[in-house]
Structures are given as C-alpha cells and as structure tokens.
Amino acid sequence: MTPYRALSTNPTPVCVLAYNILAPTHFLHETACSRVRIGTDLLETLTSITLRDLNDKDFYRLINAAYVSLRDGLDLMEELQHRLAAQAAQAS
C-alpha cells in the first residue's frame, strides 16, 4: 500500500498531486487550514469587488482557485477525521 493518497482535484486520471497519509497529524492539520484559508480569502475577495468589471475568464479563475484550495483542505480534513475515528475506536 502506498503512503500517498490522491487529491480530489487532480485534473487527470493519473495521480499527480497527492498527500502523505503518514505525515504527522499536526502537519496535515496545518496544511488543511492553509488551504481552507486560501480558498476563503479568495471568496472574500469576490465579495469586495464589482462583478460587472470582471470578465468571465477572470471570474472562473478566481472561483476555480477557491474550489481547488477548499477541496484540497477538505481532503486533508477527511484524513484527519479517519485518524481521529481510529484513535477513538482504540481508546474504547
């Protein structure tokens, strides 16, 4: 079994972007928080601009960047959830 899991946002059928499922929990958490922060910052930017001045390509780029960052963060949080569930099962 490989210690890497593909990110959901891989644009190709071949896994290019992956994360180490054996990485220390605090690193996974820190990286997940960073990705979510990036995505929410991009979405907050959209709330402070006038959309009529934004062309469709630029709008798509901002939305796609926010989506990729948030989805990557959720992938990492799901890994953390699996770890926490396993720890809880061992403790009981």
DSSP 20-32: ETTS-HHHHHHHH
Residues in Cβ contact with 30 at an 8 Å cutoff, skipping those fewer than 6 apart: none
Q: Please indicate, yes or no, if residue 84 is contained in any of the structural domains.
A: yes
pLDDT of res. 52? 80
CA distance 17 to 27: 17
* 76 belongs to a structural domain: yes
Phi and psi at 66, nearest 5°, equal -65, -45
State the total domains in the chain: 1
pLDDT in tens, 11-39: 898 889 999 999 999 999 999 999 999 99
The encoded tokens of residue 36 equal 């979510």
pTM score: 0.87
Classify residue 18: in a domain, yes or no. Answer: no
**pLDDT tens digits for range 38-87:** 999 999 998 888 878 788 898 899 999 999 999 999 999 999 999 999 99
- Predicted confidence at residue 1, as pLDDT, reads 77
Q: Which domain holds residue 48?
A: 23-91
At 3, is the pLDDT very low, low, confident or very high (cuts 50, 70, 90)? very high
